[in-house]
Amino acid sequence: MKRIILFFLLASLFFFSNTAIAQQEEKKSKPFKLKFGYSSNQIFNGRADSLEVPYLTGSFKYLDKSGFYAKTSLSYLTSSYANRIDLIGLGIGYQKIFNDQFLVSASFDKKFYNSNSFSVSSEILGNAGLNFYYLNDYVDLGTSLGANFTTGKSDMSISFDVSHEFSFGNDNWSIEPTANVNFSTRYYSEIYSNTRKEKTSNSGTQVRGTETQTIQTIGAGDLTLMNYEFSLPLYYYGNNFGAWISPAYSIAQNPAVILTTTTSTRTSGGNGQPQTTTTSSYSTEKIKNYFYVEAGVYFKF
């Protein structure tokens, strides 16, 4: 069943979209959008690195009347430990609303992370996904299917969200409480755990003298509940200008069981022959909840 779903996702070349209400507003807007935003930390599936990864992001998007779009973005890391361009993104997609109630979107994004990035999603090379939304006067329901292409095995994911928009100020303002639940496989996390050690040691490989460590996430290929997330975005919609701020709280679930294998090679005895020993140990991933904020402005022309 998992292979069938993954094949469907790969064949479709789809990625996650923004919220349904925001897409409706964008569909009615002018074709070009220039956006500048700030994120206090990069949270992915309820996980984050021990070092915060705050981004200033600029993006440019063209949306054709047919529903096809193309976009590009650049994220600049603004942290106490580094200031640099940390991520460049390219994307294409399609979105369409049927009968003012059903929104379908599909997209593909390519990501280029800095080799020293500490974002937990930095081993993801690209994403593809498909989204379905049911829009009504009471509550908006959404489902997203996705595939994440990593430097190793690919991941698949599925998420569900529910939201409702409250408009005020002649519909120029809105607030949209949103609840989201995410399921995913986690090969990306296994790969990141290994490369994270390389980045910290700055050695290119995880070798300490004659000792080598590898990290394996048990059940990395299982579709697992990763986190619940609650957000309260506030939007302002102008004719050619808009702004938003979105505080969010992520509650991580199901810490991974991690197998660490250590291989040591030592030379002993009169003949000087190397002796290799291998030891294994299990540990449990340390998870916690995160509060973070995203905010920004955009211009349409």
45 with 144: CB under 8 angstroms? no
What dihedral do alpha carbons 51, 187, 132, 236 form, nearest 10°? Answer: 10
| Residue of 296, 160, 169, 170 lying closest to 233 (CA atoms) | 296
| Residue of 208, 156, 153, 150 lying closest to 182 (CA atoms) | 156
For residue 276, count other CB atoms closer than 10 A to its CB. Answer: 9
The architecture of the domain spanning 2-300 is Beta Barrel (2.40)
Domain extent listing, the chain:
2-300
**What is the pTM assigned to this prediction?**
0.84
Q: Choose between 16 and 36: higher pLDDT.
A: 36
pLDDT tens for each residue of 229-277: 999 999 999 989 999 999 999 999 999 999 999 888 776 655 666 778 8
Which region among 19-28, 29-38, 147-156, 204-213 has the lowest average model confidence (pLDDT)? Answer: 19-28
The reported pLDDT for the residue numbered 271 is 60
For residue 58, count other CB atoms closer than 10 A to its CB. Answer: 14
57 with 65: CB under 8 angstroms? no
The reported pLDDT for the residue numbered 268 is 60
* Phi–psi pair at 117, nearest 5 degrees: -65, 140
The reported pLDDT for the residue numbered 201 is 55
For residue 136, count other CB atoms closer than 10 A to its CB. Answer: 10
Q: How far is CA 279 from the centre of its chain?
A: 34
User: Does 278 have pLDDT greater than 80?
Assistant: yes
Sign of CA dihedral 198, 110, 243, 175: negative
pLDDT tens for each residue of 85-112: 999 999 999 999 998 899 999 999 999 9
